[in-house]
Structure 1
Amino acid sequence: MTTDQMHQEIEEYLGRVPSWMELLAEPASEHSWGIFRDLGLGETELSPREKALIELGAAAAMKCPYCTYFHKEEARLSAVTDDELEEAVNLASVTSYFSTILHGNEVDYDDFVAETDEIMAYVGEQESAAAADD
Protein backbone atom coordinates (compact mmCIF):
# COMPACT_ATOMS: atom_id res chain seq x y z
CA MET A 1 0.00 0.00 0.00
CA THR A 2 2.43 2.61 -1.15
CA THR A 3 1.66 6.07 -2.49
CA ASP A 4 2.78 6.97 -5.99
CA GLN A 5 5.44 9.36 -4.65
CA MET A 6 6.77 6.77 -2.22
CA HIS A 7 6.67 4.12 -4.94
CA GLN A 8 8.80 6.32 -7.20
CA GLU A 9 11.27 7.04 -4.39
CA ILE A 10 11.67 3.35 -3.58
CA GLU A 11 12.32 2.61 -7.25
CA GLU A 12 15.00 5.33 -7.30
CA TYR A 13 16.76 3.70 -4.35
CA LEU A 14 16.21 0.02 -5.11
CA GLY A 15 15.42 -0.19 -8.82
CA ARG A 16 11.97 -1.58 -8.04
CA VAL A 17 9.48 -1.78 -5.23
CA PRO A 18 9.95 -5.10 -3.46
CA SER A 19 6.65 -6.98 -3.29
CA TRP A 20 6.85 -7.19 0.50
CA MET A 21 6.89 -3.38 0.73
CA GLU A 22 3.44 -3.38 -0.86
CA LEU A 23 2.31 -5.18 2.31
CA LEU A 24 3.22 -2.27 4.61
CA ALA A 25 0.02 -1.30 6.41
CA GLU A 26 -1.44 2.16 6.32
CA PRO A 27 -0.99 4.60 7.87
CA ALA A 28 2.53 3.42 8.66
CA SER A 29 3.79 2.58 5.17
CA GLU A 30 5.53 5.91 4.59
CA HIS A 31 6.98 5.83 8.11
CA SER A 32 8.21 2.27 7.60
CA TRP A 33 9.87 3.20 4.31
CA GLY A 34 11.40 6.28 5.98
CA ILE A 35 13.03 4.13 8.66
CA PHE A 36 14.37 1.71 6.06
CA ARG A 37 15.62 4.57 3.86
CA ASP A 38 17.04 6.90 6.50
CA LEU A 39 18.72 4.40 8.80
CA GLY A 40 19.56 1.59 6.42
CA LEU A 41 20.35 3.46 3.23
CA GLY A 42 20.95 7.02 4.38
CA GLU A 43 24.16 8.68 5.42
CA THR A 44 24.62 8.12 9.16
CA GLU A 45 27.48 7.77 11.63
CA LEU A 46 27.97 4.17 10.50
CA SER A 47 29.32 3.19 7.11
CA PRO A 48 27.19 1.03 4.79
CA ARG A 49 29.61 -1.80 5.56
CA GLU A 50 29.16 -1.48 9.32
CA LYS A 51 25.38 -1.22 8.97
CA ALA A 52 25.19 -4.32 6.81
CA LEU A 53 27.23 -6.34 9.32
CA ILE A 54 25.09 -5.16 12.24
CA GLU A 55 21.88 -5.86 10.34
CA LEU A 56 23.15 -9.30 9.35
CA GLY A 57 23.96 -10.10 12.98
CA ALA A 58 20.51 -8.98 14.09
CA ALA A 59 18.81 -10.94 11.30
CA ALA A 60 20.74 -14.08 12.17
CA ALA A 61 19.94 -13.72 15.88
CA MET A 62 16.23 -13.31 15.03
CA LYS A 63 16.55 -16.33 12.75
CA CYS A 64 14.95 -14.47 9.82
CA PRO A 65 15.99 -16.06 6.52
CA TYR A 66 14.61 -13.12 4.53
CA CYS A 67 16.61 -10.47 6.41
CA THR A 68 19.67 -12.71 6.62
CA TYR A 69 19.74 -13.12 2.84
CA PHE A 70 19.08 -9.43 2.19
CA HIS A 71 21.77 -8.20 4.57
CA LYS A 72 24.36 -10.75 3.40
CA GLU A 73 23.89 -9.53 -0.15
CA GLU A 74 23.95 -5.91 1.05
CA ALA A 75 27.22 -6.59 2.88
CA ARG A 76 28.74 -8.14 -0.22
CA LEU A 77 28.08 -4.86 -2.05
CA SER A 78 30.35 -3.25 0.56
CA ALA A 79 33.11 -5.79 -0.12
CA VAL A 80 32.51 -7.77 3.08
CA THR A 81 34.23 -11.14 2.70
CA ASP A 82 32.65 -14.51 3.40
CA ASP A 83 34.93 -14.87 6.44
CA GLU A 84 33.68 -11.53 7.78
CA LEU A 85 30.07 -12.58 7.17
CA GLU A 86 30.67 -15.77 9.12
CA GLU A 87 32.31 -13.86 11.94
CA ALA A 88 29.38 -11.41 12.16
CA VAL A 89 26.93 -14.30 12.43
CA ASN A 90 29.12 -16.01 15.03
CA LEU A 91 29.29 -12.83 17.09
CA ALA A 92 25.50 -12.54 16.96
CA SER A 93 25.22 -16.11 18.24
CA VAL A 94 27.65 -15.40 21.09
CA THR A 95 25.64 -12.36 22.17
CA SER A 96 22.39 -14.32 21.99
CA TYR A 97 23.95 -17.21 23.93
CA PHE A 98 25.18 -15.08 26.80
CA SER A 99 22.00 -13.01 26.83
CA THR A 100 20.06 -16.23 27.37
CA ILE A 101 22.34 -17.15 30.28
CA LEU A 102 22.03 -13.70 31.87
CA HIS A 103 18.25 -13.48 31.48
CA GLY A 104 17.52 -17.11 32.32
CA ASN A 105 19.50 -16.86 35.53
CA GLU A 106 18.08 -13.41 36.35
CA VAL A 107 21.51 -11.89 36.94
CA ASP A 108 21.16 -8.64 38.87
CA TYR A 109 21.56 -5.82 36.37
CA ASP A 110 23.23 -3.38 38.76
CA ASP A 111 25.80 -6.02 39.73
CA PHE A 112 26.37 -6.76 36.07
CA VAL A 113 26.95 -3.06 35.29
CA ALA A 114 29.40 -2.70 38.20
CA GLU A 115 31.35 -5.79 37.12
CA THR A 116 31.40 -4.69 33.50
CA ASP A 117 32.69 -1.24 34.43
CA GLU A 118 35.54 -2.84 36.41
CA ILE A 119 36.36 -5.16 33.52
CA MET A 120 36.38 -2.34 30.96
CA ALA A 121 38.61 -0.21 33.18
CA TYR A 122 41.07 -3.10 33.54
CA VAL A 123 41.06 -3.91 29.82
CA GLY A 124 41.53 -0.22 29.00
CA GLU A 125 44.53 -0.04 31.33
CA GLN A 126 46.04 -3.15 29.75
CA GLU A 127 45.60 -1.72 26.26
CA SER A 128 47.15 1.59 27.32
CA ALA A 129 50.12 -0.21 28.86
CA ALA A 130 50.62 -2.32 25.72
CA ALA A 131 50.47 0.77 23.52
CA ALA A 132 53.06 2.50 25.72
CA ASP A 133 55.38 -0.50 25.37
CA ASP A 134 55.27 -0.27 21.56
Structure 2
Amino acid sequence: MDRQQVYQEIEGIFGLVPSFFKELPDNTVEAEWRLFRAVQLDDGPLPVKYRELIGLGIAAATRCRYCVFYHTAIAKLFGASDAEIEAAVHYAKSSAGWSAYLNGLAIDFDTFKQEVEQACDFVRAQEHKQAA
Protein backbone atom coordinates (compact mmCIF):
# COMPACT_ATOMS: atom_id res chain seq x y z
CA MET A 1 0.00 0.00 0.00
CA ASP A 2 1.20 3.49 -0.69
CA ARG A 3 0.81 6.38 1.76
CA GLN A 4 -2.55 7.47 0.33
CA GLN A 5 -3.99 3.97 0.63
CA VAL A 6 -2.79 3.77 4.23
CA TYR A 7 -4.36 7.16 4.91
CA GLN A 8 -7.67 6.03 3.39
CA GLU A 9 -7.72 3.00 5.67
CA ILE A 10 -6.85 5.08 8.74
CA GLU A 11 -9.51 7.67 7.89
CA GLY A 12 -12.07 4.92 7.43
CA ILE A 13 -11.46 3.85 11.02
CA PHE A 14 -10.84 7.19 12.79
CA GLY A 15 -12.58 9.71 10.54
CA LEU A 16 -9.24 11.48 10.13
CA VAL A 17 -5.55 10.74 9.79
CA PRO A 18 -3.88 11.62 13.10
CA SER A 19 -0.86 13.85 12.59
CA PHE A 20 1.52 11.39 14.22
CA PHE A 21 0.95 9.03 11.29
CA LYS A 22 1.76 11.86 8.89
CA GLU A 23 5.18 12.21 10.51
CA LEU A 24 6.17 8.65 9.57
CA PRO A 25 8.58 8.20 6.65
CA ASP A 26 7.16 6.77 3.43
CA ASN A 27 9.12 3.54 3.80
CA THR A 28 7.61 2.74 7.24
CA VAL A 29 4.09 4.19 7.22
CA GLU A 30 2.41 0.99 6.03
CA ALA A 31 4.32 -1.27 8.46
CA GLU A 32 3.70 1.10 11.39
CA TRP A 33 -0.01 1.32 10.58
CA ARG A 34 -0.37 -2.45 10.26
CA LEU A 35 1.37 -2.97 13.61
CA PHE A 36 -0.66 -0.22 15.31
CA ARG A 37 -3.90 -1.68 13.96
CA ALA A 38 -2.98 -5.24 14.94
CA VAL A 39 -1.93 -4.36 18.48
CA GLN A 40 -4.25 -1.46 19.30
CA LEU A 41 -7.43 -2.10 17.33
CA ASP A 42 -7.89 -5.66 16.09
CA ASP A 43 -9.68 -8.26 18.21
CA GLY A 44 -7.38 -10.41 20.27
CA PRO A 45 -7.33 -12.51 23.41
CA LEU A 46 -7.71 -9.40 25.59
CA PRO A 47 -10.77 -7.19 25.13
CA VAL A 48 -9.93 -3.66 23.97
CA LYS A 49 -10.98 -2.09 27.29
CA TYR A 50 -8.48 -4.20 29.22
CA ARG A 51 -5.70 -3.65 26.69
CA GLU A 52 -6.27 0.09 27.01
CA LEU A 53 -6.22 -0.08 30.81
CA ILE A 54 -2.88 -1.89 30.56
CA GLY A 55 -1.68 0.78 28.12
CA LEU A 56 -2.80 3.48 30.54
CA GLY A 57 -0.87 1.89 33.38
CA ILE A 58 2.28 1.72 31.26
CA ALA A 59 1.77 5.29 30.06
CA ALA A 60 1.35 6.53 33.61
CA ALA A 61 4.50 4.72 34.74
CA THR A 62 6.53 6.07 31.80
CA ARG A 63 4.95 9.51 32.23
CA CYS A 64 3.90 9.93 28.61
CA ARG A 65 1.12 12.51 28.55
CA TYR A 66 0.21 11.65 24.95
CA CYS A 67 -0.24 7.98 25.82
CA VAL A 68 -2.09 8.73 29.07
CA PHE A 69 -4.57 10.86 27.17
CA TYR A 70 -4.94 8.34 24.31
CA HIS A 71 -5.34 5.23 26.46
CA THR A 72 -7.73 6.94 28.86
CA ALA A 73 -9.94 8.17 26.02
CA ILE A 74 -9.98 4.80 24.25
CA ALA A 75 -10.54 2.85 27.49
CA LYS A 76 -13.54 5.07 28.25
CA LEU A 77 -14.76 4.67 24.66
CA PHE A 78 -14.81 0.92 25.26
CA GLY A 79 -16.63 1.17 28.58
CA ALA A 80 -13.99 1.70 31.27
CA SER A 81 -15.37 3.45 34.32
CA ASP A 82 -13.60 6.14 36.31
CA ALA A 83 -13.04 3.54 39.03
CA GLU A 84 -11.35 1.19 36.53
CA ILE A 85 -9.18 4.04 35.23
CA GLU A 86 -8.09 4.89 38.78
CA ALA A 87 -7.46 1.22 39.59
CA ALA A 88 -5.25 0.78 36.52
CA VAL A 89 -3.18 3.84 37.38
CA HIS A 90 -2.99 2.90 41.06
CA TYR A 91 -1.82 -0.60 40.12
CA ALA A 92 0.83 0.87 37.81
CA LYS A 93 2.04 3.13 40.64
CA SER A 94 2.30 0.19 43.00
CA SER A 95 4.01 -2.06 40.46
CA ALA A 96 6.53 0.61 39.42
CA GLY A 97 7.27 1.37 43.06
CA TRP A 98 7.88 -2.25 43.97
CA SER A 99 10.03 -2.67 40.87
CA ALA A 100 12.21 0.26 41.91
CA TYR A 101 12.47 -1.09 45.46
CA LEU A 102 13.29 -4.69 44.52
CA ASN A 103 15.77 -3.71 41.81
CA GLY A 104 17.32 -0.92 43.86
CA LEU A 105 18.04 -3.28 46.75
CA ALA A 106 19.11 -6.07 44.35
CA ILE A 107 16.85 -8.59 46.11
CA ASP A 108 18.00 -12.10 45.22
CA PHE A 109 15.95 -13.11 42.17
CA ASP A 110 16.10 -16.86 42.75
CA THR A 111 14.79 -16.44 46.32
CA PHE A 112 12.10 -14.04 45.11
CA LYS A 113 11.03 -16.48 42.40
CA GLN A 114 10.92 -19.39 44.84
CA GLU A 115 8.81 -17.39 47.31
CA VAL A 116 6.32 -16.33 44.62
CA GLU A 117 5.96 -19.93 43.44
CA GLN A 118 5.53 -21.11 47.04
CA ALA A 119 2.83 -18.50 47.66
CA CYS A 120 1.00 -19.51 44.45
CA ASP A 121 1.14 -23.18 45.49
CA PHE A 122 -0.30 -22.25 48.89
CA VAL A 123 -3.19 -20.29 47.34
CA ARG A 124 -3.95 -23.16 44.93
CA ALA A 125 -4.00 -25.62 47.86
CA GLN A 126 -6.38 -23.35 49.81
CA GLU A 127 -8.70 -23.10 46.80
CA HIS A 128 -8.59 -26.87 46.38
CA LYS A 129 -9.54 -27.35 50.05
CA GLN A 130 -12.47 -24.93 49.71
CA ALA A 131 -13.70 -26.66 46.53
CA ALA A 132 -13.62 -30.09 48.19
TM-score between the two structures when normalised by the length of structure 2 = 0.90
Find the counterpart in structure 2 of residue 78 from structure 1. 78
Deviation per CA, 1:92-121: give whole Å up to 9, x if none. Answer: 111100010111111222222111111111
Greater shift, 115-124 or 81-90, is seen at 115-124
* Counterpart residue type for residue 36 of structure 2: F
Secondary structure in structure 2 of the residue aligned to 1:28: helix
**Aligned counterparts, 1:1-134, within 5 A:** 3-132=3-132
The alpha carbon displacement at 1:45 in A equals 0.5
Q: Which runs of 5+ in 1 are unaligned?
A: none
Q: Distance in 2 between matches of 1:111 and 1:28?
A: 44
Deviation per CA, 1:52-102: give whole Å up to 9, x if none. Answer: 111111111111111111111101111111011001000011110001011
* Counterpart residue type for residue 4 of structure 1: Q
Q: Quick one: structure 1 residues 102 and 25, their matched pair in 2 at CA, closer, same or farther if it must change by over 3 Å?
A: farther
Q: Distance in 2 between matches of 1:61 and 1:40?
A: 19
Deviation per CA, 1:17-59: give whole Å up to 9, x if none. Answer: 1111111245332222222100110011111111111111111
The alpha carbon displacement at 1:122 in A equals 1.0
- The answer on whether the counterparts of 2:6 and 2:29 sit within 8 Å (CA) in structure 1 is no
TM-score between the two structures when normalised by the length of structure 1 = 0.89
Q: Distance in 1 between matches of 2:13 and 2:114?
A: 45
Percentage of matched positions with identical amino acids: 36
The alpha carbon displacement at 1:5 in A equals 1.1
* Matched residue count: 131
